[in-house]
Structure 1
Amino acid sequence: MEEVFKEIEKRIKRLEAEIELAEQRLKLLEETGAAHKYRIWEKRKDYSEYYLILIALWLVVGMMFLYYIKSRYAQRIPFSLTPYVVLVVILISFPLGYLVWKFMHREAIESPLDYLHKREKSARIVLNEFYLPLKEALKKQDKERLRLLADTLLTNLSLAEAIENINEGNPKIMAYALYLYISRDKYPNLKDDIEEAVALLRNKPLKALMMSLLEKS
């Protein structure tokens, strides 16, 4: 179990360092005014969408007006409006295409401020809701707390998302590993399942926990 606690301590220290670093960066951005300027820039980017929509509407209204003039004064306007229609369609396709692309990639575009806030929040959640309870439960060999922690990994969406955000592993496989650890005495023939968990786990503390079971088997 010594190796397990070493890995847990490593993760705790890493997360604490990440939280502190994110807080320092956010504080620096606020103090230098960069955060405020970036928010203004973000708003300007949002306004650009409205400008593009207005341009598209202006082109459509202009085309409708030309059709109205053409239909009312058909004899005085002998030329065809087809080239103008094609031109308007081409011009409209650019802003509309950009808006569609931006809408489809909206979630993929993440500002530095949002990134820092998300990393800091995720690290804090994983630290307080997973690693610290895990450390205490393993120290006391409290199976009920470990079972509750495994259940939480499967039911608490914010914790599961935070774990994935900071690449701590797959919450479902992590829960599976905890269930195996809890059941080790009740079901002694779990070697194959434990080996499978070791192969699937990306979370180092829980992988070390599973390895400790294999060493005892």
Structure 2
Amino acid sequence: MEEVIIRSESSLVKKYEDKLRRRNSYLLIFLGLMIVIQAIVILILRWKYPILGVKMSRILIVFLILVFGLLLIGVLFGQEKEVDEGDLKEKMNAYRIVAKKFYRRLREALENEDMESIKGIADEILEDPIFGKALQVANIGDPKVVAYILYVYLNRESLSREEIEEAKRLAPGPLAKLFEGE
């Protein structure tokens, strides 16, 4: 569980935030620069070489409309990337919440054999919608399933072997380690 805490607390926001911002601006700068260079090349070719009796100014206008259309598509997809960046930040915040409110508290409760704290964590998962959503966003599992697994762990002495096996099967990732000794 410590590995999960360390990985989820690592500062992915700081690590990738600048790259996410710069990616869109570099793309637009590159496309704009290419438009200018290609327009200059076409203007030079227009004066030097006529092509099949067609005036290059018409071809240049069609070309510029096409390039600006592609640039507009790039801008529209760039806005879609900003949504992905927001999703990334949401996931990172969810990982922080899960690390602080779930894994750290669960580890401390297991080390101290404090069953009331584990019950408190399970209750909070069911009562706090932000905490539950963070568990889902961080791919820990459905909050109801996670709480169920914690309740099964708390009552493992009084439950049948089949119920414990079912909880093991449902347990996502590190939560399955709760039942290693069973």
- Measured against the shorter chain, the TM-score band is 0.5 to 0.7
Counterpart amino acid of 2:97? I
What secondary structure does 2:180 align onto?
Answer: helix
Equivalent residue, structure 2, for 1:198: 168
Structure 2 counterpart of 1:207, from 172, 176, 182: 176
Counterpart amino acid of 2:180? M
Give the Cα separation in 1 of the matches to 2:81 and 2:125: 28
Equivalent residue, structure 2, for 1:162: 134
Deviations 1:139-181 (A, max 9, x none): 0010110000010111111111111112112221111111112
Q: List alignment gaps of at least 5 residues for structure 2.
A: 29-79
Deviations 1:47-83 (A, max 9, x none): xxxxxxxxxxxxxxxxxxxxxxxxxxxxxxxxxxxxx
Task: State the Cα distance separating 1:11 from its structure 2 match.
Answer: 1.1
The 4+ residue runs of structure 1 with deviation greater than 3 A are: 27-30, 32-35
Structure 2 counterpart of 1:26, from 9, 17, 20: 17
1:36-185 equivalences in 2 (<5 Å): 111-185=83-157
Structure 2 counterpart of 1:16, from 3, 9, 14: 9
Counterpart amino acid of 2:165? E
CA contact (8 A) 1:151 1:175 kept: yes
Task: State the Cα distance separating 1:109 from its structure 2 match.
Answer: 8.9
Task: State the Cα distance separating 1:33 from its structure 2 match.
Answer: 8.9
User: Which stretch of structure 1 is more off in the superposition, 120-129 or 165-174?
Assistant: 165-174
Deviations 1:96-142 (A, max 9, x none): xxxxxxxxxxxx99713212211111111111110000000000010
What secondary structure does 2:141 align onto?
Answer: coil
Give the Cα separation in 2 of the matches to 1:206 and 1:125: 17
Give the Cα separation in 2 of the matches to 1:176 and 1:201: 9
Greater relative CO (CA pairs within 8 A, separation 6+)? 1
Q: TM-score, normalized by length of structure 2?
A: 0.63
Distance 1:166 1:110, change over 3 A: farther
Counterpart amino acid of 1:15? S
Distance 1:191 1:109, change over 3 A: farther
Q: List alignment gaps of at least 5 residues for structure 1.
A: 1-7, 39-107
Task: State the Cα distance separating 1:29 from its structure 2 match.
Answer: 4.5
Equivalent residue, structure 2, for 1:3: none
Task: State the Cα distance separating 1:27 from its structure 2 match.
Answer: 3.9
Counterpart amino acid of 2:166? E
